Amino acid sequence: MGCSRNFPRVGLSDAYYADFWLAVFAEYLATFFFMFAVSGSSLRWEGAPTIFQQALVAGFVTASMIQALRSVSLPLVHANPVVSLAAFMNGDAGFIQMICSVLAQFFGAITGTGVVMAISPQHARGKLGATIPAKEVSGFQSFGMELVLTLLLVLTMLASIDANKHAARRDYGTAAAMGVVVTGCYLIALPLTGCGLNPARSLAPAIFTNSWEHHWVYWVGPILGSLLATFLHCLLFRRREYNRQSPTPQDENEYDDVLSS
């Protein structure tokens, strides 16, 4: 794994295998449960969850889904179109897999939010967790916040599943790392932008509540943040690989000794 060895590919032949479709279904499940939790934690009950509690919900569900589905969706379930985009750009997923995963994620987000709307009383629904900038926050400021935090999110994901890490450590460490970074991002952005970082997460409640104010922010910001994170990871990974593979003076001396013997 890593941009120095893998490159974006079509991956049409991947669709011939059952594991491919199991991974796509895992994307649906993960996004469904994520949006069910996010929309559910935003309901306007008496004593509704605080920002801190909502952030914990998002982080815990993210970590739980990655851990629960790690054997089905390798190296990890995305539940986010811009994470799938980064996986494709980094050579970890084919184009066909990315497209199918993204479609499953949008369907999962819409059905997850729809179930919350269907089983909750009308007076408690509110905006179902719609991502809308706060009154004092401009669209450009929201765009900057979404871009930077998506950069952090995707960079953490790419670093966490680095193929050079021990497999067992990657299984448990990735879930923990992603849960922590999602919680942190929600704590920062929830009171300012509603914390999108995920076009599927923003689209689903917008559809049900007709909340389209500055909606472009929650697409352009995360997409650009994901692309920038992939570029930075490639840059750092390639430099590290070059340093690791470059021969040391001792290696060169040993090579000269072999030639002279």
Provide the whole-model pTM: 0.86
CB contact at 8 A, 130 and 201: no
pLDDT at 112 exceeding the cut of 70: yes
Mean pLDDT of 46-62: 93
Q: Which residue has the higher pLDDT, 174 or 152?
A: 152
In this prediction, residue 238 has a pLDDT band, given cuts at 50, 70 and 90, of: low
Torsion of CA 97, 100, 103, 105, to 10 degrees: -50
C-alpha separations of 35 from 107, 111, 115 in Å: 11, 8, 10
DSSP at 163: T
Mean pLDDT of 190-218: 97
Q: Which residues contact 212 (CB under 8 A, 6 or more apart)?
A: 206
Mean pLDDT of 51-58: 96
Give 206: exposed, middle or buried? Use CB within 10 Å, 0-12, 13-18, 19+: buried
To which residue do tokens 């605080």 refer? Answer: 50
In this prediction, residue 91 has a pLDDT band, given cuts at 50, 70 and 90, of: confident
